[in-house]
Amino acid sequence: MTPQVLPPALDLIGTAVFALTGALLAARLRQTFVTMAFFALVTGVGGGSLRDMLIGTPAFWLRDPWVAPVIFSTAVLAWVTPRRWWEGELLEWADAAGLAAFAVLGTAKALAFGVAPVPAMVLGVVTGCAGGVVRDVIAGEPSILMRPELYVTAAALSALVTMGGGLLGLGDALVWSAAWAAGFALRGAAVRWKLALPAYHDGQGDQPHL
């Protein structure tokens, strides 16, 4: 049994935000409600399910009676409301909060299961990002991994602070709060000022190597 990392309400809110991003992608692609609900589910629980599979425990949402209803309720909400209500910076800021929270949650849960520190950090990043990656791959959209914006980096920062605080033996509440704030701030800065990592450049231009 692992400790509760996030308050249940915040955990569900984060899941709902991620589910909404999946549902809105289906809406933008003019898909059916079934596809919208599926995208919401994959995005909302994909990262946490992959993490749980890797650490050898049942997927978290299978034992939580609220996760699936929240996700499908979010899909219904996206279906009956205009897409323009949800798009823009408001959703990006909410997604930033969920991303940081889930990176903290994933890292802390992995550490609680005895995973080594660096792999635990990797699982924190997986928890925050994998659902969106799977969603984009299924939709045939460019994955967040293929874009230079600071997204995965923000999740990695939250995971790194969580891991580091655990190694130093600091209090969980302090570490998790600081880790969440760090990841949220970095992702928020990227949203506000369009920050991105530099792309690889070898000085050879675009000519292929023969």
User: pLDDT tens for residues 68-95?
Assistant: 999 999 999 999 999 888 888 888 888 8
Q: Look at residue 94 and give its three-state secondary structure.
A: helix
d(CA 93, CA 103): 16
Report pTM. Answer: 0.89
Q: Which residues pair with 196 in a beta bridge?
A: 149
pLDDT, averaged across the chain? 90
Structural domain boundaries in the chain = 8-193
Question: Could you tell me which residue, 208 or 154, shows the higher pLDDT?
Answer: 154
Beta-carbon contacts of 1 under 8 Å, excluding residues fewer than 6 positions away, are none
> Is the pLDDT higher at 84 or at 128?
128
- Tens-place pLDDT, residues 8-57: 777 788 899 899 999 999 999 999 999 999 999 999 999 999 999 999 99
Q: Which residue has the higher pLDDT, 209 or 40?
A: 40
Nearest to 95 by CA among 20, 4, 176, 10: 20
Question: Taking 60 as the threshold, does the pLDDT of residue 119 lie above it?
Answer: yes
Residue 7 has pLDDT above 50, yes or no: yes
DSSP state, 171?
-
Q: What is the pLDDT of residue 103?
A: 95
Under DSSP, is residue 149 helix (H, G, I), strand (E, B) or coil? Answer: strand
